[in-house]
Amino acid sequence: MPANDIKPPPLNEKDFGNRVGIDFSKTSAYKKETDKSIADAYAACKKYLSEKEKGATKGLPAVVSDLDETLIDNRPHFEKTPEFNWPAFEAWIKKADAPLLPKTAAFLQWARKNGFAIFFITGRREGLRADTINNLIKREVAYDGLLMRKDGDKGSAEAVKVPLREQVEKMGFTIVVNIGDQWSDLQGGHAYDCEKLPNKIYLVE
């Protein structure tokens, strides 16, 4: 969807949870939502490429993607824990063994082959950088930058992520697509197109 059209539905934390989210991720509604967002992400990139051929673009094109529940699939961890808690989640991150969500992985790989730089903007803190990189290497993910929350920063996801997208733009990139599983990944502009993936495991505001 165009970045200016973002209108999150009313959200209530009690509608989210490990079990409810994992069960939802096995439904046709989840698949439909994912497929639509991924198809729209490809379409936005293809539109940019056709405009580029006409000389109607400026800057270097980039795709910004969130990691958790956007590219990285943490369901093996959430299957084993009754409810979200940070220490357990960080212990899982440190194993650097999470699988990928294949549709996002394929989209990012396609985009990179077609000239888009790939920047990951994640709420994971800097202290988890090495573990995060190890996980991406293990899953053979090619990318151009990994921008993370500063250690000790307790700001909202939006407050953390908007300045990081600005940082990408200051490097000379035009963010064509910003994709994430939380509305807070997408709010605040700095992208032409935003794509929301489904996630009912947890809510990040």
38-67 positions binding Mg ion, by CB under 5 A? 66
Site for Mg ion in 64-93 (CB under 5 A): 66, 68-70
Selected binder of Mg ion within 45, 157, 181, 193 (CB under 5 A): 181
How far apart CA 48 and CA 56 sit, in angstroms, is 9
Q: Choose between 48 and 188: whose C-beta lies nearer to Mg ion.
A: 188
Closest to Mg ion by CB, 174 vs 182, is 182
Which of 68, 195 has the CB closer to Mg ion? 68
Print the binding letters for residues 133-172 with Mg ion: x by CB under 5 A, - otherwise.
Answer: ----------------------------------------
Return the number of the residue (50 or 81) whose C-beta is nearest Mg ion.
81
Report CA-CA distances (Å) from 57 to 5, 60, 61.
22, 9, 9
Q: Could you tell me which stretch among 6-14, 53-61, 160-168, 178-186 binds Mg ion (CB under 5 A)?
A: 178-186
123 C-beta neighbours (distance < 10 Å), count: 20
The least CB distance from residue 93 to Mg ion, in Å, is: 12
Alpha helices in the chain (DSSP H): 18-24, 28-53, 75-78, 86-95, 102-113, 129-138, 157-170, 183-186
Q: Binding residues for Mg ion, how many (CB under 5 A)?
A: 5
Minimum Å distance from CB 110 to Mg ion? 21
**3-class secondary-structure state, position 6:** coil
Q: With contact defined as beta carbons under 8 Å apart, do 101 and 67 qualify?
A: no
Q: What is the largest CA-CA distance in the chain?
A: 53
3-state DSSP call for residue 173?
Answer: strand
Which residues of this chain interact with Mg ion, rule CB under 5 A?
Answer: 66, 68-70, 181
